């Protein structure tokens, strides 16, 4: 959600191999797949916590893949121009469990506008996601980075609102209807609350909605971008990524960009708090971009993506650490991009998105593996 987006953290200026995230059901020919297998690395020897790694998509931009509450399905966003998907749409697919099972993505968003940040509701029959389709049926324009010194920037489109739909794609309710960005929604373990990011009060803050009453409570109020929030598996904590401009120059720049519905999220750290937003603590202090955090099954340890080891801004790899920021461990080793890690509800499987094994293209695909503690 993770994932401002998560609207789409690919540091494109520094990383030509990274594309804007989305998802693909493209299936390569046997000859092409054989070429990939010979020229690419699916898994690295140092990745000792990842077992039985399985690649689920082949081609396009596939990202923000998250489990259903029963652990049997994934919801994700997909862009693939070759398949007529010019910007992100939301798909769901059942995870293969035996040889011969296929991963068959099914469109559940409208196919209009740009979407992001899908999540299953606990009933397994409904989903939430953010979409710009009410603003325009076309993909919203991508900002011209040349105006901003060719830095990596991130649009927070005003027309993003959050919708509830059934798993056949029928929208049953519009959950937000405020001026400005509303997106990045995820659901509490009891299924009763939704945490999301909104610009409704002039800054990118976290809010919690009671899904039965639709009452909304703001839970962050510090200047800077707060987003990609998740509840811990026990429901007692929340975790998210945040930028915290501190100098006069940083504050002025942040406010100036935000006035244009843009952020430059190259400096982010991991934060945690109680589920009501109290007792906020900054966990990481590594510098650069530390993001896409999630609690592990014990509700104490954290898994996240980071480029902090590399001054040039990449690769991005997966790491774990304790909730006080100690005991940092490197989990993944791809030389490009590993991000959006999430554990299945039973804690046995890990899903993430990566540039690995892509045949030298810019494709980002979805991978699922057994987790070896």
Per-residue pLDDT of 223-268, as tens digits, reads 999 999 999 999 999 999 999 999 999 999 999 999 999 999 889 9
Minimum mean pLDDT among 38-52, 166-180, 215-229, 271-285: which range? 38-52
Asked if pLDDT for residue 35 goes beyond 70, the answer is: no
3-state secondary structure 192-208: CEEEEEECCCCCCEEEE
The answer to whether the peptide bond before residue 315 is cis (omega within 30 degrees of 0) is yes
What are 351's two structure tokens?
């899903």
CATH code of the domain covering residue 349: 2.120.10.30
pLDDT at site 152: 86
Q: Tell me if 198 sits within 8 A of 176, measured CB to CB.
A: yes
Predicted confidence (pLDDT) per residue in 118-153, tens digit: 999 999 999 999 999 999 999 999 999 999 988 889
pLDDT bin (cut points 50, 70, 90) of residue 7 is very low
Question: Which pLDDT belongs to residue 30?
Answer: 39
Handedness of CA 112, 17, 305, 285 (dihedral sign): negative
SS3 readout for the chain? CCCCCCCCCCCCCCCCCCCCCCCCCCCCCHHHHHHHHHHCCCCCCCCCCEEEEEECCCCCEEEEEEECCCCCEEEEEEEEHHHCEEEEEEEEEECCCCCCCCCCCEECCCCCCCEEEEEECCCCCEEEEEECCCCCCCCCCCCCHHHHCCCCCEECCCCCEEEEEECCCCEEEECCCCCCCEEEEEECCCCCEEEEEECCCCCCEEEEEECCCCCEEECCCCCCCEEEEEECCCCCEEEEEECCCCCHHHHHHHHHHHHCCEECCCCEEEEEEECCCCCCEECCCCCCEEEEEEECCCCCCEEEEECCCCCCCCCEEEEEECCCCCCCEECCCCCCEEEEEEECCCCCEEEEEECCCCCCCCCEEEEEEEECC
Inter-residue contact 180 to 198 (CB < 8 Å): yes
Q: Calculate mean pLDDT across residues 35-64.
A: 87
Q: Give the per-residue pLDDT at 39.
A: 47
What number of CA atoms fall less than 13 Å from residue 163's CA on the CB side? 22
CB burial of residue 299 (10 Å; 0-12, 13-18, 19+): middle
Q: Do 264 and 153 contact (CB within 8 A), yes or no?
A: yes
Across the range 337-364, mean pLDDT stands at 97
- The answer to whether residue 213 sits within a structural domain is yes
| Residue 45 pLDDT | 97
Q: Would you say residue 326 lies in a domain?
A: yes
Asked whether residue 6 is assigned to any structural domain, the reply reads no
Query: Could you give the angle at the alpha carbon of 92 between the alpha carbons of 216 and 155, nearest 5°?
Result: 55
CB 5 within 8 A of CB 117: yes
In this prediction, residue 4 carries a pLDDT of 41
Residues 334 and 12: their CA atoms lie apart, in Å, by 17
Query: Is 15 a residue whose pLDDT tops 70?
Result: no
- Residue 17, pLDDT above cutoff 60: no
Q: What is the pLDDT of residue 137?
A: 97
Q: Per-residue pLDDT for 357 more than 50?
A: yes
**What mean pLDDT comes out for the span 7-17?**
36
Residue with tokens 């890990």: 350
- Report the distance separating Cα 21 and Cα 365, nearest Å: 9
- pTM here? 0.90
Domain that includes residue 339, residue range: 30-371
Q: What is the pLDDT of residue 21?
A: 33
Establish if 9 belongs to a structural domain.
no
11 is a domain residue: no
Q: Average pLDDT for residues 318-323, to the nearest whole number? A: 97
Chain centroid offset of residue 286 CA: 20
162-208 pLDDT per residue, tens: 999 999 999 999 999 999 999 999 999 999 999 999 999 999 999 99
Q: Is residue 347 part of a domain?
A: yes
Q: Does 10 reside within a domain?
A: no
* Residue 187 falls in which region: left (phi positive, over 0), alpha (psi -120 to 50) or beta: beta
Please state the domain count of the chain. Answer: 1
Asked, for residue 99, whether it belongs to a domain, the answer is yes
């Amino acid at each position: 959600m993770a994932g401002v987006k998560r609207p789409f953290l690919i540091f494109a200026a520094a990383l030509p191999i990274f594309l804007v995230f989305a998802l693909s059901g493209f299936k390569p020919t046997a000859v092409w797949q054989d070429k990939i297998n010979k020229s690419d690395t699916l898994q690295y020897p140092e990745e000792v916590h990842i077992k039985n790694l399985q690649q689920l998509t082949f081609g396009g931009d596939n990202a923000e893949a998250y489990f259903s509450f029963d652990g049997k399905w994934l919801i994700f966003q997909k862009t693939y121009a070759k398949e007529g998907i010019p910007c992100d749409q939301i798909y769901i697919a059942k995870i293969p469990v035996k040889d011969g099972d296929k991963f068959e993505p099914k469109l559940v968003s409208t196919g209009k506008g740009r979407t992001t940040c899908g999540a299953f509701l606990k009933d397994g029959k409904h989903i939430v996601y953010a979409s710009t389709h009410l603003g325009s049926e076309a993909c919203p324009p991508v900002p011209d980075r040349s105006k901003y010194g060719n830095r990596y920037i991130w649009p927070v489109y005003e027309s993003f609102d959050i919708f509830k739909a059934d798993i056949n794609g029928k929208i049953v309710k519009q959950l937000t209807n405020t001026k400005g960005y509303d997106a990045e929604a995820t659901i509490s373990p009891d299924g009763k609350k939704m945490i999301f990011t909104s610009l409704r009060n002039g800054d990118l803050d976290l809010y919690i909605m009671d899904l039965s009453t639709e009452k909304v409570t703001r839970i962050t109020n510090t200047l800077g971008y707060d987003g990609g929030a998740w509840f811990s598996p026990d429901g007692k904590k929340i975790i998210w990524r945040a930028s915290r401009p501190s100098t006069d120059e940083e504050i002025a720049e942040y406010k100036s960009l935000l006035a244009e519905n843009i952020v430059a999220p190259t400096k982010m750290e991991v934060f945690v708090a109680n589920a009501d937003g109290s007792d906020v603590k900054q966990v990481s202090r590594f510098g650069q971009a530390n993001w896409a955090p999630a609690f592990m099954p014990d509700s104490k340890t954290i898994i996240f993506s980071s480029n902090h080891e590399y001054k040039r801004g990449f690769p991005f790899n997966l790491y774990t650490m304790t909730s006080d920021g100690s005991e940092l461990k490197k989990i993944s080793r791809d030389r490009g991009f590993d991000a959006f890690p999430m554990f299945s509800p039973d804690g046995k499987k890990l899903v993430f998105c990566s540039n690995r094994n892509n045949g030298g293209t810019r494709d980002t695909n979805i991978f699922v593996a057994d987790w070896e503690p």
